[in-house]
Amino acid sequence: MAQSSQKQKWIAIAYEQFALQGWKGMKIDGLSQLVGVSKSSFYHHFADMEILMALLLEHHLVQAKILSQKESLAKSIEPELLNILCEHRIDLLFSRQLRIHRDNAVFANTISKTDQLVGDAIFLLWVRELNPKLGKNQLQSIFELALENFFLQMTPENFSMAWLSSYFANLKKLSAQF
């Protein structure tokens, strides 16, 4: 396997493991088994976990841009946006882990960047489809709460089309009350 493709495999597997298990999934021994290479390969490509994590955060920002572009083209929450969210399940679960560990300043900074990218696209669709009768500042505040609530409720076990559909249906009911 070429060095760059092996490095990409390390990044892809570590990204998914962090998304699904958080720091527990970031053990070099376990990652090397999943990659199918020796532990020394990790040190050859990354030297230490901080370098790998920096690359994972860069990868996450790229994924957030891709997600944002897709979301901005969505015409409806259901099924269009929900399909996009399902397609980016691992990216969203990675964001969830960043939130869990937001006491890390680098993670908090990444959350801020991704929320702006992804949140802006969803916010416009949310306002257009739910049509709440509130001012822009009120809508933005409620949206930020809904986004945070989304990540609090989402888990690898419950993340599915059915869960997303139920979550957004509940948001729609809540917004109708305003």
Q: For 64-114, write each residue's pLDDT tens digit.
A: 999 999 999 999 999 999 999 999 999 999 999 999 999 999 999 999 999
Whether 68 and 137 share a structural domain:
yes
The total number of structural domains in the chain stands at 2
Is the pLDDT score of 166 beyond 90? Answer: yes
Question: What is the arithmetic mean of pLDDT over 147-167?
Answer: 95
Residue 3 has pLDDT above 70, yes or no: no
Q: Are 41 and 102 in a shared domain? A: no
Three-state secondary structure of 28-60: HHHHHHHHCCCHHHHHHHHCCHHHHHHHHHHHH
Kindly state whether residues 157 and 83 are assigned to the same domain: yes
In this predicted structure, what is the pLDDT of residue 154?
Answer: 96
Instruction: Give the tens place of pLDDT for each residue, 26-73.
Output: 999 999 999 999 999 999 999 899 999 999 999 999 999 999 999 999
Same domain membership, residue 80 and residue 149: yes
The rounded distance, in Å, linking the Cα atoms of 9 and 94 is: 17
pLDDT for position 121:
78
Task: Find the helix packing angle between 105-130 and 49-73, rounded to 10°.
Answer: 10
Dihedral angle computed from the Cα positions of residues 139, 150, 95 and 90, in that order, rounded to the nearest 10 degrees: -130
Phi, psi dihedral angles at 2 (to 5 degrees): -65, 150
Same domain for 95 and 25: no
Of the chain, the percentage scoring pLDDT greater than 70 comes to: 97
Identify the domain containing residue 7 by its residue range.
1-47
72/135 same-domain check:
yes
- pLDDT band at 123, cuts 50/70/90? confident
